[in-house]
Structure 1
Amino acid sequence: MQQITLAEASQNLPDLIEAALSGEEIIIIKDNQPLVKLTPVPPLKHRPKYGSAKGLITISDDFDEPLEDFKEYME
C-alpha cells in the first residue's frame, strides 16, 4: 500500500493510475488523513442487444401439435 499526499498525487497522477491498474493500492492523504483510494474499475459487462437474433430463428407452423409418439396418451 502506497500513501501519497494530495499535492504529490496531482503531480504524478498518470504514474499513480498505472500503479493502481497493476494492482498496487494507492491512498491519497491530506493532513495525514486518508481521502481517496485509487482502484481500477472492473470491465463493463456487455448487455444483450434485444432483437439481434431476428430472422435467425424460425418456428414451424405445427410446433404445438402433439408428437406422434405421444398421440396414444392424448386420447
Structure 2
Amino acid sequence: MDGHRCPGEDVTVSVLATVARFLARSAYEIPEKDLRIPLERITTAPPSGFVVSGFAVPPADRSAEDQHPA
C-alpha cells in the first residue's frame, strides 16, 4: 500500500480478527436497552453504554486456557 500506515496496524487487525472469532463462538446476552446513537455529538455511543451479561467461554477455548495458564 502507498501512504502512511501505523506501525501497529497489522497487530491490531490480527487481534480484532481473533476477538471477533472468539465472540462469534461464545454465548452471551445483551439486556434490553435503548441503543439509539445520538448523531449530534462526537464520539457517538449509546447513552447507557453497551452491556453484555451471561458470558460463557466456548468449551474448546476452556481447554486452551488449561494448557496455557496466565
Q: TM-score range by the shorter chain?
A: under 0.3
Scaled by the length of structure 1, what TM-score is found?
0.18
Bigger Rg, which one:
1
Would you tell me which structure has more strand in proportion to its own residues? Answer: 1
Would you tell me which structure has more helix in proportion to its own residues? Answer: 2
Scaled by the length of structure 2, what TM-score is found?
0.19
Which has the bigger relative contact order, CA under 8 A and spacing at least 6?
2
